[in-house]
A and B are shown apart, each in its own frame.
Chain A
Amino acid sequence: GAGVSQSPSNKVTEKGKDVELRCDPISGHTALYWYRQSLGQGLEFLIYFQGNSAPDKSGLPSDRFSAERTGGSVSTLTIQRTQQEDSAVYLCASSPRQPSTDTQYFGPGTRLTVL
């Protein structure tokens, strides 16, 4: 079946602009995660959605970052007033049910470049 898809694959923006990154999880997966992969910081957890529960936002680096998940499926990560340090690859993952034990399936990522 189809895996996790993300769009766009690449995004170049100017400092100060807002960007939206999209994630389509695997159909039927109730858990969805966003991570960020950057040269200086490695792979960092950003946010986690599980069904209708309140999301775990503990990894969001600032209030410029937000995410939503509509209808328990597609998720959008929004970065407002982008800064150069936001340049990174943003990875989305989904898993079927249990948050801790299920395998997380990762998408190919969106490479964000802030000029």
Chain B
Amino acid sequence: AQSVTQPDIHITVSEGASLELRCNYSYGATPYLFWYVQSPGQGLQLLLKYFSGDTLVQGIKGFEAEFKRSQSSFNLRKPSVHWSDAAEYFCAVGARSGNTGKLIFGQGTTLQVKP
């Protein structure tokens, strides 16, 4: 069955420090991969997505993610975290085949930023 695992439920980093949020997926083939962010009281916003090609993808707000097929991972990184990055982050997979756009989400990682 398809699934997404975000091993870290909660992460705290200091402002200006680097960040890596982990995401592992289970899927029969290479899926489409997404990272979304949800700020308090806000809807989900797409940070970046991977479909094919270069395995290092750049997103908005200075985020990037690297697809590693051998590890079934799609970790999100940012070199220097800002206080405004405090939010909940969701990794998701989407199917490459079939007429469905449904996304399967991980449980989310809550990021707290210390001043």
Taking the closest CB of chain A, its distance from the CB of B64, in whole angstroms, is 17
Which B residues lie within 8 Å of A91 (CB)?
43-44
CB-CB under 8 A for A56 and B100, given A42-B105, A101-B32:
yes
Chain B stretch 79-115: residues in CB contact (< 8 A) with chain A = 90, 92, 94-96, 99-108
1/0 per residue, CB under 8 A from A, across B10-43: the answer is 0000000000000000000000100010000111
> A99 touching B103 by the CB < 8 A rule?
no
Contact of B43 among A42, A95, A102, A109 (CB under 8 A): A109
CA distance A39 to B32 in the complex (A): 25
Q: Is the pair B46, A100 in contact by a Cβ cutoff of 8 Å?
A: no
Q: Is there a chain B Cβ closer than 8 Å to A4's Cβ? A: yes
Is residue A72 within 8 Å, beta carbon to beta carbon, of the partner chain? Answer: no
Q: Which residue of A lies closest to B104 (CB)?
A: A45
Pair A31/B102 contact, Cβ less than 8 Å: no
- B residues touching A (Cβ–Cβ < 8 Å)? 32, 36, 41-46, 49, 51, 90, 92, 94-96, 99-108
14 A-B residue pairs with Cβ-Cβ distance under 8 Å, sorted by A, are A35-B105, A42-B105, A43-B92, A45-B104, A48-B102, A50-B99, A56-B102, A59-B102, A93-B44, A100-B94, A100-B95, A100-B100, A105-B46, A108-B43
